[in-house]
Amino acid sequence: MKKIISFALVAVLFSCSKKDNNDYAEDLTVEEVTPTVVTDPIAEGKSLVEGADCLGCHKMDEKMIGPSYKEVSAKYENTPENVEMLAEKIIKGSSGIWGDVPMPAHNGMSKENAKYMAQYILSSK
């Protein structure tokens, strides 16, 4: 009797779990991935600055551990070359330009996000 019940149980489990290859295709769904389009790089940069550790050392209008964003924007013209250069400094870190305290590297930051941040900083004139 136990053998019959065991066999019946195995048969039920096997029949419930077996799918035809066509059945699998019905279960698959393809999600459309829409790339994020940044329509306002300055707003994006501000959001990134506020979400990172930047505000622990920098303020908009006054010097803290590092220079204020207005000091940076007064020193560097808002050009693609300066955006690129500042993005590199954000990612790799910097020292000696604004004093003795080095700015730490942000190696996990993407170049694109660092550029948005630099654009925001340079727009603060």
| Domain positions in the chain | 41-122
Average pLDDT over the chain reads: 83
Does the pTM surpass 0.85? The reply is no
What mean pLDDT comes out for the span 74-95? 97
Residues comprising the chain, all counted:
125
pLDDT digits (tens, 9 = 90+) for 62-82: 999 999 999 999 999 999 999
Q: Both tokens of residue 73?
A: 């924007």
Exposure b/e, 88-111, CB count within 10 A at least 16 = b: ebbbeebeeebeeeebeebeebee
CATH class of segment(s) 41-122: mainly alpha
